[in-house]
């Protein structure tokens, strides 16, 4: 969480590659989204393309929020 503040980040996505079904050489992953406001969302095991879609949804929402604030 401190990394979000130190690096002025809005979102960190992390995974534990030691968990079965996550990491390298598999088509699935399990990730946690850590938001600037302190929320943590664990995305259950799913296809990596589905996780990528979810991450992009978060990025679009963040960009929309920043755009609204700057307007």
pTM over 0.85: no
pLDDT surpassing 90 at residue 35? yes
State yes or no: pLDDT of 4 exceeds 70: yes
Q: What is the DSSP letter of 4?
A: H
Structural domain spans, the chain: 2-70
- pLDDT(70) > 70: no
In the structure, what pLDDT confidence band is assigned to residue 57 with cuts at 50, 70 and 90? very high
Q: What is the pLDDT of residue 9?
A: 93
């Amino acid at each position: 969480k401190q990394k979000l503040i130190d690096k002025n980040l809005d979102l960190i996505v992390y995974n534990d590659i030691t968990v079965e079904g996550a990491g390298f050489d598999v088509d699935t992953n399990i990730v946690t989204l850590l938001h600037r406001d302190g929320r943590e969302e664990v995305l259950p095991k799913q296809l990596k393309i589905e996780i990528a879609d979810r991450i992009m949804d978060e990025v679009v929402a963040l960009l929309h929020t920043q755009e609204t604030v700057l307007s």
